[in-house]
A and B are shown apart, each in its own frame.
Chain A
Amino acid sequence: MAEAANQSIKKSGRRFGESCIISWLTVCAAVSVITTAAIIGLLLKESLVFFENVSPADFFFGTSWVPILKPSSYGVLPLVWGTLQVTIGAAIVAIPLGLACAIYLSEYASPKMRAYIKPVLELLAGIPTIVYGYFALTFVTPILRSIFPDVQVFNSLSAAIVVGIMILPMIATLSDNALRAVPESLRQGAYALGATSYEVTTKVVVPAGLSGVMASFLLAISRAIGETMAVTIAAGQTPNLSLSMFESIQTMTAYIVQVSLGDTPAGGIAYQTLFAVGGLLFIITLLINIVSQLVLSKYREVYE
């Protein structure tokens, strides 16, 4: 004790070391911010060059996308439509299944069952997306073609199905978390009023956790929009405004892959389209993520 009393209370080397570590951690955190800013800056700069050559009206409302061959045309709608087709199809597959899965996990499954299903879902989420692409091309498409003979080898339907399977674990896991966050006391209160499990789940638990569930849908949709490899492989490379899901289409991401493969000379308009399409993609997913954050922050105030 006497020794401790003799020690100086001035800053020692140890404190200096600590401040070094804090600075280092701050730099690490800053990297992600800087990267995001750099990406936005680059997209903006190159897109501006693109819009000097192509009017925004032609880009946003044009119905024909022929960027490389002459006569060229830069209407982005076919690409947006391709992306939408796959995303909507994926949502139709994944939302009911994912929500049902979440309800089962949170309300009905025994702890033992959960312990089996959760890791399988995580495994599903960990499969490389290119594997999903080949799964679509070599497994899903042949099945579709045996049912509907009109289905082309590359088609948006099989892409939508596998993207749906891909985002299912995300919906299931996030919705499960949202439902499990609903206080047990609400379930007890509902059961004590003579409600069945089904009524408790559908009329108390899901409505109470709805904002979290909605946020999981939006995040999964945003993931489906950005999905690249599976749709490039399964859905093909044909910009297409057709309503049919049996035909080949091209999504915005698949177009970026096509241009990035290297045949397009840097600096030309075709090269600039990369940034215009990329920027549009970025804005769409950013908007969806912002909306889902707003939905989530509302959800935090629900119970108390």
Chain B
Amino acid sequence: MSELAFAENSTATNETVETIKDKALDLQEVSILYSGNPAVKKVSCYFMRNKITSIIGPSGCGKSTLLRALNRMNDFIHGVTLEGKIMFASEDLYGPEVDPVEVRRRIGMVFQKPNPFPKSIYNNIAWAPGINGFEGSKDELVEHSLKQAALWDEVKDRLHDSALNLSGGQQQRLCIARALAMDPEILLMDEPCSALDPISTAHIEDLLFDLKSRYTIVIVTHNMHQASRISDYTAFMEMGHLIEFGETEQVFTKPLVKRTEEYVTGRFG
């Protein structure tokens, strides 16, 4: 833990004083264990409202595990336990009375590989609001979600075709639209561009810029350039530890920890 460095700690006196209210999620000494073996070790950090935070680090550093803990997707893996607290507003996501289904309704997720349902484009989006008691116009919801995901113009004439006929990049934007249709407060993205070509990647990065005015976004990425391009905050993890966390510009240009500098400049990892 001595390695952990917060840029904010050193600049706490200037104007970037963040109140608890601005933190969409606040992690307090979070450890995640697979059958007793820690994959994430005492991580404390926070994700600011309406900002994009990247989590970077070498493969196996625990960044995806940490991300999946944020909407309780690790519940489906046998033997995973979590210690510490993840505060969502004033509630601990892992509190005894928390309904994980409700958590996932409010904290959406987009996965590494596009995973549209084998249903029509329309039903991919309308399905989840439908089972959750959405009462407005589904047509409007579908159109609005697809527009937000910058996919509307490409699919508006074939909404009832199978989603599986879309290209990989389109499928991924459909998955984003599907998550947005639930109107989540936070959007988690697990390497959303790793299976896509550069043009589709650029599409999605543009999209994230537009979305952050409405959503809090946490993105795990392998791509350092992507992290520096799109995110406001960056967390660097290694071997389950959070090594450095701060504003992206500071982490990439004036890292406080040598390991971070070596990693972001590509000298290792």
30 contacts between A and B (CB under 8 A): A185-B113, A185-B115, A186-B117, A186-B118, A187-B76, A188-B73, A188-B76, A188-B111, A189-B117, A189-B178, A190-B117, A190-B128, A192-B73, A192-B104, A192-B108, A192-B109, A192-B179, A193-B178, A193-B179, A194-B102, A194-B104, A195-B101, A195-B128, A195-B131, A203-B127, A204-B117, A207-B119, A208-B117, A302-B118, A304-B164
Q: Given the complex, which residues of B lie within 8 Å of A204, measured CB to CB?
A: 117
Number of interface residues of B (CB under 8 A): 26
Chain B residues packing against A (C-beta within 8 Å): 71, 73, 76, 101-102, 104-106, 108-109, 111, 113, 115-119, 127-128, 131-132, 164, 175, 178-179, 182
Known contacts A192-B73, A193-B104, A195-B101; is-contact A203 B131 (Cβ 8 Å) = yes
Select which of B76, B116, B118, B182 is within 8 A of A191 by beta carbon. Answer: B76
Q: Given the complex, which residues of B lie within 8 Å of A185, measured CB to CB?
A: 111, 113, 115
How many A-B contacts at CB < 8 Å in the complex?
63
Known contacts A192-B73, A194-B105, A304-B164; is-contact A183 B132 (Cβ 8 Å) = no
Complex CA–CA separation, A85 to B76 (angstroms): 44
Give chain A nearest CB distance to B177 CB in angstroms: 12
Known contacts A203-B131, A303-B164; is-contact A191 B73 (Cβ 8 Å) = yes
Chain A residues packing against B (C-beta within 8 Å): 183, 185-196, 199, 203-204, 207-208, 302-304
Give chain A nearest CB distance to B119 CB in angstroms: 8
Give chain A nearest CB distance to B200 CB in angstroms: 18
Beyond A186-B118, A189-B178, A192-B111, 4 extra complex contacts between A and B, CB < 8 Å:
A189-B111, A194-B104, A194-B182, A302-B164
Select which of B71, B102, B113, B132 is within 8 A of A192 by beta carbon. Answer: B71
Q: Chain B: which residue is nearest A208 at the CB level? A: B118
Complex CA–CA separation, A50 to B116 (angstroms): 57
Give chain A nearest CB distance to B107 CB in angstroms: 9
Tell which of A191, A196, A302 has the most Cβ of chain B within 10 Å: A191
Q: Given the complex, which residues of B lie within 8 Å of A304, measured CB to CB?
A: 164
Q: Given the complex, which residues of A lie within 8 Å of B128, measured CB to CB?
A: 190, 193-195
Pair B115/A186 contact, Cβ less than 8 Å? yes
Q: Given the complex, which residues of B lie within 8 Å of A302, measured CB to CB?
A: 118, 164
Q: Given the complex, which residues of A lie within 8 Å of B73, measured CB to CB?
A: 188, 191-192
* 6 A-B pairs with least C-beta separation: A194-B105, A193-B128, A185-B115, A192-B109, A189-B115, A194-B104
Pair A303/B101 contact, Cβ less than 8 Å? no
Complex CA–CA separation, A12 to B174 (angstroms): 61
Pair A183/B115 contact, Cβ less than 8 Å? yes
Q: Given the complex, which residues of A lie within 8 Å of B106, measured CB to CB?
A: 194
Q: Given the complex, which residues of A lie within 8 Å of B182, measured CB to CB?
A: 193-194
Q: Chain A: which residue is nearest B119 at the CB level? A: A207
Complex CA–CA separation, A192 to B180 (angstroms): 12
Q: Given the complex, which residues of A lie within 8 Å of B105, measured CB to CB?
A: 193-194
Q: Given the complex, which residues of B lie within 8 Å of A183, measured CB to CB?
A: 115
Q: Given the complex, which residues of A lie within 8 Å of B113, measured CB to CB?
A: 185
Pair A194/B132 contact, Cβ less than 8 Å? yes
Q: Given the complex, which residues of B lie within 8 Å of A199, measured CB to CB?
A: 131
Complex CA–CA separation, A204 to B118 (angstroms): 8
Pair B101/A194 contact, Cβ less than 8 Å? yes
Complex CA–CA separation, A284 to B116 (angstroms): 39
Q: Given the complex, which residues of B lie within 8 Å of A203, measured CB to CB?
A: 127, 131
Q: Chain A: which residue is nearest B106 at the CB level? A: A194
Complex CA–CA separation, A172 to B131 (angstroms): 27
Give chain A nearest CB distance to B42 CB in angstroms: 26
Give chain B nearest CB distance to A244 CB in angstroms: 43
Give chain B nearest CB distance to A140 CB in angstroms: 40
Complex CA–CA separation, A303 to B118 (angstroms): 6
